[in-house]
Structure 1
Amino acid sequence: MHPRLSHLSFAVAAAVIAAIFIGPPAGADTAPPSSSTPKTVAADALPTPQINGVVWTQLIVGTTVYVGGEFTKARPAGSAPGANEVTRNNMLAYNLTTGAMTSFNPNMNAAVRGLVASADGTRVYAGGSFTSVGGVSRYRLAAFSTATGGLVSTWAPVVNAAVKAVGISGGTVFAGGTFTVANGQSRPRIASFATSNGAVQGWKGNPSGGSVNALTVSPDGTKVVIGGSFTSYNGGTNPGYGMAATSAGTGASLAWKVNGLIRNAGANGAILSLTSSSSGVFGTGYDFGSGAMFEGTFRASWTDGTLVWIEDCHGDTYSAVPVNDVVYTTAHAHYCGNIGGFGETSPRSYHRTLTFTMAATGVVAKNAVGNYYNFAGQPRPTLLAWYPEINTGTYTGQGQGPWNIAANSQYVLYGGEFTYVNNKRQQGLVRFAVSAIAPDKEGPRLQGASFLPTLSSPSAGTVRVSWTSNYDRDNEQLTYQVQRDGVTVKTLTGLSVDWKRPTITWTETGLTRGKTYAYRLKVTDPFGNVRTGNPVSVTVS
């Protein structure tokens, strides 16, 4: 929950395994233990431009990434705040493959909240609260040529308040937000415009009692699903309470069955994001009291909104994006125990980057923590093993880090107000890539004095070696070498993640009584990244 929002064998003779560890279920990573498990991108944070505020929206068009938000300066990766900065007011672009900033500099005078591109990639449409673009009047909607970066002079719709989301299909741009008038016509919170000249089109309706925060258009262009804090749509509340499926031509309400289960609207909750693919619609939400009850991610069918799955992790979720067989999300999740994931900790800890299987794999268990709605028995995906670390920022004052995700088949991009990624300075933007592109250098996390065996000699001529599993940000299966006096005497593999680190125990026999031996551990991930612990000595009974 969060206050109201505005906007993770070589064995010597006579050695035997005395106890076997139990790991968590196999989950995706860059080299998953099971070939049937989908691969994620690597957790290496790639060099990306940085900003001095918050990123609300990102859009990939070919090899260019367009970024919108609230910021005034940008600087290269590795530069400290104030160093090597250039002016970029609320919108910028950079090269997807190199991370280098481009010269695109539209100079928006206020926030950019939504971005979308034409199917041919020749135009980018922006929505937000701006009223000027490069000194030219544009009232909360604008279009740019991707070839020149210039403002499209022939596209200038006018709405009277903020745009929070945009979508596109064919010759129509869809917008949602807090406005009530578009081009002089009554259009409460949703409107559509011709891509050719910005003329108002026929999509209209009445989402009342709150704003429209998100929208997504079906692949065939016939439906637009909207989400937000509105409490009814065209007078209906199921669907219509925080979500509605609409006809893309007229705005007429259509069946949307998931709204019968997920009820987030009003002063204490909302649907925060909607994305989609041919696999369905993916929505996220927040809940902070009466009138709301959902904080995770759901997947629903395009046909009629039938629920495919719900991940009922606790902690508001801000964005989700499907990529092949994986769904990436950003949240401040602090409990996923009801879907087989991490439990609540004290003090509370957060996972801001979560990934899930595209397919439903089980059912949600009964809620056991806090005063949360019980989704027990509903279909759920599997939580996967990908846990880059992203911190919180201070720009919005809401104690959050990442707010938005964009992706294609090779890259996953996080944007927000964070200042560190994987414990290194990186503000507001970060790229992750598939293993073939990434350096794959995110190895096991612990070494030296933090990675020690516990030794005992329970019987004559034996030494029992125990340790808590190491962990890796993007590989669940690790290989351990037990070394005695510098020589490897046993190799074991095991599964672990940061929140579940089983104890591994192995007993060596046939040792000399009264002799002192030094044992240490080496751990390696599937990409050859090695960490070594300090030695510990024991005298054999």
Structure 2
Amino acid sequence: MSWHFRSPVTAVVALSVLASAIFTGAGAAQADTSPPSASTPKTVAADALPTAQINGVVWSQVIVGNTVYVGGEFTKARPSGASAGTSEVSRNNLMAYNLSTGVMTSFNPSVNGVVRAITASPDGSRIYVGGGFSTAGGVSRTRLAAFSTATGALLSDWKPTANGTVRALGAFGSTVYAGGSFTSISGQSRQRAASFDGLTGAVGAWKGTIPNGAVNALTVSPNGDRVVIGGSFTSYNGATTPGYGMAATDSSTGAGVTWNIGKLIKNAGPNGAILSLTSDADGVYGTGYDFGAGAMFEGTFRASWSNGNTVWIEDCHGDTYSAVPVGDVVYTTAHAHFCGNIGGPPETNPRSYHRTLTFTKAAGCTIARNQTGGSYFNFEGRPCPTLLAFFPDINTGTFTGQSQGPWNLAANSQYVLYGGEFTIVNNKRQQGLVRFAVSSIAPNKEGPKATGSNFQPTLSTPSANSVKVTWKSNYDRDNAQLTYQVLRNGVVVRTQTGLSADWHRPTLSWTDTGRSGGTTYTYQVRAIDPFGNTVTGSSASIQATGAAIKTAPDQTITPDAPANAPDATLTPDVAPVPDVAPLRDVAPVPDVAPLPDVVPEPGMQPEPGTKPVPDDVPAPLPEVPAT
């Protein structure tokens, strides 16, 4: 099992969880000050920053300078900290807030239907929005509109129309690209993919033959020569390999071009789709869902811009909705319930979810054989990224009825933003939107989480004049390595370190020798994260056996009161897994040559088994007719 965590020091640090010995003894794993790899990236801190809230669901976000534009299905917005139904102002399906402060801006275009997609012009002077609306600010706009970022005004010179929902937008140079479930754009035939002049809205030449399904996502290459599309369509320009759920196209004509990962990952039809595509200079990052025959992928992939070759796949089970690269890190949002085949959280009963999994951009391990059975495709032997320690808790919302929390991610070099239908973040009420920041500007107050009797040592007397102190590791949302202090009668008598996560809490122990027989000793354990956040658990007492020893009495210090985590007022959506045995190690494989992409045989059926509970399937996304 290989995974890493952020450090408060300048050097970037890394750790590998290799064996139980690494958790015992003060000399093991000096991770923060002596990292085995100075190239392991840091994540943002897990502190949930105050952010404006909405009363529905967020489907799309884009950052333009210091402003975040947010689209979705909602009618009201309110400040951070305000309870639902209080301090609300009208914001119909489109709003904005200040990236640095989280405070809502005055931008209030009042769009009368769902906003599914937002993108910005390359110069940041305007945003383009798409969805299922028919008016913006009372002015006719049929599923497409543009706004000035300087004034917030609806732009009168950009008003193409679509006859079906627009679900994806991208821009390069003077061209805007759109995908969705439409078949006509401004009266011209365009099957689910179209382009426009970014200033006038005139329909462009880019198009393809997409006979069914929808285009859910698109991304444009750094030099603008290609547009990659993904969705539930089953062919593109008559081709299926690639073309089944995913295709790369010439950005001028729409002609298909080589896209090798589309020969391996085939998600389309009624039971699957590619749900998001994002990119940077290093490649394309895509996510998907699978709920049966015709689909086979639920995690995140990275493909190269050169021919779409597979760089890595993270095969966590549980639909993945969005991914965004930031530097050397890739953030995702999902409802992952099993990542054991890449060294991550195991399947639990009852099922628990990790909605904020984060990975290295580089490949660092090899996918193991699926351990859960069922109808999952076997990606065994292919490169995977390394899981990083960033585990904020985001709960399940109820607005869409699809039993999901976050749906969308946006980020820049300082902030990572989640949007969705969640109502609680890190056990504090926060609806629909939340920000996380790099540690240099974050509070860094997310400390060890287990408290009181949940962090109490077990004592035994293995031999005369000795006491064995045993405890379950604590865990932290954004640091894997914690320091432990053992207190005897209030005095620190032992310090050691260990690695843990909410899903992997090894048992640690230490034997205190030289204790006087017949004397009662009281022990506590204190956990400290690299930023100095501290929790001291409940105490336990035991009488030592053996002969009495005449020694100077211990200094008596009143033990610290059991610390309560500051957010312990609500039940976490992801419950710590008790006594989870470590999964088998997944060995890092530097410079792994990717296996050749393969085409699943026609008519291939998934391995027999039971697919996870029905909350793994997104409900159909309804069309909103224009009026």
Query: Per the shorter chain, which TM-score range?
Result: over 0.9
1:283 shift after superposition:
0.3
Cα separation, 2, equivalents of 1:529 and 1:413: 24
Q: Percent identity?
A: 68
Aligned to 2:521: 517
Alignment counterpart, residue 528 of structure 1, candidates 507, 532, 551 = 532
Cα separation, 2, equivalents of 1:389 and 1:31: 29
Aligned to 1:328: 331
What residue identity is the alignment partner of 2:424? Y
| Number of aligned residue pairs | 524
1:36 shift after superposition:
3.0
Change (3 A) 1:435 1:485: same
| 2:527 pairs with 1:538 | no
Aligned to 1:281: 284
Contact 1:56 1:415 (8 Å CA) reproduced: yes
Aligned to 1:16: none
Instruction: Kindly indicate which of the two structures has a greater share of residues assigned to strand.
Output: 1
1:432 shift after superposition:
0.3
CA offsets per residue over residues 117-138 of structure 1, 9 Å max, x none?
Answer: 1111111111111110000001
CA offsets per residue over residues 368-399 of structure 1, 9 Å max, x none?
Answer: 11321100011101111110000010100000
Aligned to 1:364: 367
What residue identity is the alignment partner of 1:529? N
Aligned to 1:141: 144
1:168 shift after superposition:
0.3
Contact 2:20 2:506 (8 Å CA) reproduced: no
| 2:447 pairs with 1:463 | no
| 2:69 pairs with 1:66 | yes
| 2:242 pairs with 1:251 | no
Contact 1:476 1:495 (8 Å CA) reproduced: yes
Aligned to 2:166: 163
Which piece of structure 1 moves more, 519-528 or 19-28?
Answer: 19-28
Give the alignment's Cα RMSD to 1 decimal: 1.9
Contact 1:28 1:384 (8 Å CA) reproduced: no
Secondary structure class of the residue paired with 1:208: coil
Contact 2:236 2:247 (8 Å CA) reproduced: yes
What residue identity is the alignment partner of 2:263? G
What residue identity is the alignment partner of 1:187? R
Aligned to 1:98: 101
What residue identity is the alignment partner of 1:424? K
Secondary structure class of the residue paired with 2:262: helix
Aligned to 2:181: 178
Aligned to 1:236: 239
Contact 1:55 1:68 (8 Å CA) reproduced: yes
Please list, as runs of the form range in 1=range in 2, the aligned pairs for 1:390-405 lying within 5 A after superposition: 390-405=394-409
Cα separation, 1, equivalents of 2:470 and 2:168: 53
CA offsets per residue over residues 428-471 of structure 1, 9 Å max, x none?
Answer: 00000000111000000012221101111111111111111000
Cα separation, 1, equivalents of 2:351 and 2:330: 25
Alignment counterpart, residue 452 of structure 2, candidates 448, 453, 457 = 448
Cα separation, 2, equivalents of 1:518 and 1:356: 42
Contact 2:22 2:29 (8 Å CA) reproduced: no
1:325 shift after superposition:
0.7
What residue identity is the alignment partner of 1:208? P
What residue identity is the alignment partner of 1:83? T
**Structure 1 portions without partners, runs of 5+:** 1-7, 9-18
Secondary structure class of the residue paired with 2:311: strand
Secondary structure class of the residue paired with 1:267: helix
Alignment counterpart, residue 342 of structure 2, candidates 339, 342, 359 = 339
Aligned to 1:151: 154
Contact 2:216 2:230 (8 Å CA) reproduced: yes
What residue identity is the alignment partner of 1:329? T
**Structure 2 portions without partners, runs of 5+:** 6-18, 546-627
1:32 shift after superposition:
7.8
Cα separation, 2, equivalents of 1:422 and 1:470: 16
Contact 1:21 1:504 (8 Å CA) reproduced: no
Aligned to 2:130: 127
Cα separation, 2, equivalents of 1:206 and 1:296: 27
Alignment counterpart, residue 59 of structure 2, candidates 33, 45, 56 = 56
Cα separation, 2, equivalents of 1:141 and 1:250: 22
Alignment counterpart, residue 79 of structure 2, candidates 64, 76, 85 = 76
Change (3 A) 1:114 1:181: same
Q: TM-score, normalised by structure 2?
A: 0.82
Aligned to 1:388: 392
What residue identity is the alignment partner of 1:414? Y
Aligned to 1:407: 411
| 2:395 pairs with 1:416 | no
Cα separation, 2, equivalents of 1:205 and 1:331: 30
Change (3 A) 1:114 1:482: same
Cα separation, 1, equivalents of 2:48 and 2:433: 10
1:152 shift after superposition:
0.6
Cα separation, 2, equivalents of 1:31 and 1:520: 28
Aligned to 1:4: none
Cα separation, 2, equivalents of 1:226 and 1:181: 18
